[in-house]
Amino acid sequence: MTPAGQVEHRVVKKPNGGRRRSKARRGATNPGEARLAYALITPTLLMLALIVGYPIIKAVYQSFLTDPGLDQASGLFTAGDAWFGLHNYTHWLLQQCATSNGGYTACPSGTPGSQFWESVGVTVGFTVVACTLETVIGMVFALMMHRAFRGRAMVRVSILIPWAIPTAVTSKLWQVMFDPQGCINKILGTHYAWTSSLWPARCAIVIADTWKTTPFIALLILAGLQNIPEETYEAAKIDGANAWRRFTSVTLPLVKPALAVAVIFRALDTLRMYDLPKILTGGANGTTTSSILVVDQLTRGVNSASALSTITFVFIFVIAFGLVRLFNTNILGAQTKAVR
């Protein structure tokens, strides 16, 4: 019995069987299911090890070996594949070439050994300039495609057409347009040989790459825009925010995850750029990227090219890791501010 006005609280104890059942539900996977899972993923792991793991390990191992050719110290032809240590890496990183007396000196200007850091600078320059232009123009296109107006479907299709064209076709198309007698010079009233000098050739590659891949960034940003509720914009309008304020305070923070993915993907793709400059300029006039240098080195020595490809892989991996950390920090910071 309890006094009037008070509620009696009773604690009902669950039987031990219920506790065991709850622990069993939260416990480890059934041994039979675990064996089945291992059996199902084993073929995939073996295939990845064969297709991805073995070539990487083989390339790293070959980067420590010599290439077939003339031995500068003895003057005799060697079959190569002898242990060479880190000399292939110092050849590229320190731009050192072997001498006839068995020593090493700075590689002559214009040789592949002296072009590594130049190709890195060209690659990074293309990445920064092209990704910046593609992000800005892609944002404009995404905002345009997100608006509701008559003929929006046709506009979306026309914007996405350049991305659907193969890169080799795009390169040939712009090669014709940048010809001294092409339509670009006729429109501008100039007589530039765009692919025959340093900065016009670089500008031509940036223009062609921006035209080709801006729709990719626009498409990813558009996907992020479509996830923003319209009520958010209505609330901002009620609070008196103008169009620029709504873009900087609502659109940009909420679309930042999709924008981060787009920038990271495009940066990695541009850092590996090969086909566009190779077809458009042949890698000449200061347009040799790291990928072009790797492929060209394969005709001179596989082992030295393996060292160069390993360096390029590490270089791209470090930049990718930095971009992921940078954008992840910004996204988390923006989400924290939004919650507060």
Count the neighbouring beta carbons within 10 Å of the beta carbon of residue 292: 22
- Token pair in block for residue 48: 């990845």
- pLDDT above 60 for 6: no
Q: What is the distance between the alpha carbons of residues 172 and 272, in angstroms, rounded to a whole number?
A: 19
- The pLDDT-based confidence of 191 (bands split at 50, 70, 90) is confident
Give CA angle at 53 (52, 55), nearest 5°: 75
pLDDT for 72 = 61
> Residue 248 has which token pair?
């900087």
Residue scoring higher pLDDT (221 or 332): 221
Percent of the chain with pLDDT over 90: 38
Structure tokens at 201: 């050739």
Mean pLDDT of 23-35: 66
Residues 241-250, mean pLDDT to the nearest whole number: 90
pLDDT for res 338: 43
Question: What's the CATH architecture for 116-339?
Answer: Orthogonal Bundle (1.10)
pLDDT for the residue numbered 49: 87
Rounded to an integer, what distance in angstroms lies between the CA atom of residue 205 and that of residue 237? Answer: 42
pTM (predicted TM-score): 0.79
- Sign of the torsion angle spanned by Cα atoms 304, 308, 311, 317: negative
The mean pLDDT of the chain is 83
Q: Which of 39, 294, 254 is nearest to 142 (CA)?
A: 254
Higher pLDDT, 284 or 106: 284
Q: Output the pLDDT for position 121.
A: 93
Q: Residue 24 — very low, low, confident or very high, per pLDDT cuts 50/70/90?
A: very low
pLDDT tier at 336, thresholds 50, 70, 90: very low
Query: Which pLDDT value is given to residue 166?
Result: 92
User: Given this model, what pLDDT does residue 301 score?
Assistant: 86
Render pLDDT for 83-129 as a digit per residue (tens, 0 to 9). 888 888 988 888 877 776 666 778 877 777 788 999 999 999 999 99
Give the gyration radius of the chain's Cα atoms.
Answer: 29
At residue 302's C-alpha, the angle toward residues 299 and 303, to 5°, is 145
Q: Report the range of poorest mean pLDDT among 18-32, 166-180, 197-211, 314-328.
A: 18-32
Residue 329: band (very low, low, confident or very high) from pLDDT cuts 50, 70, 90: low
Q: Where in the chain is the domain with CATH 1.10.3720.10?
A: 116-339
Q: DSSP 3-state assignment of 327?
A: helix
* pLDDT, mean of residues 176-183: 89
Say how far apart CA 178 and CA 194 lie, in whole Å: 6
pLDDT at 35: 87
pLDDT (tens digit per residue) in 306-319: 999 999 999 999 99
pLDDT at 291: 92
Q: What percent of the chain has pLDDT over 70?
A: 84
Q: Does residue 274 carry a pLDDT above 90?
A: yes
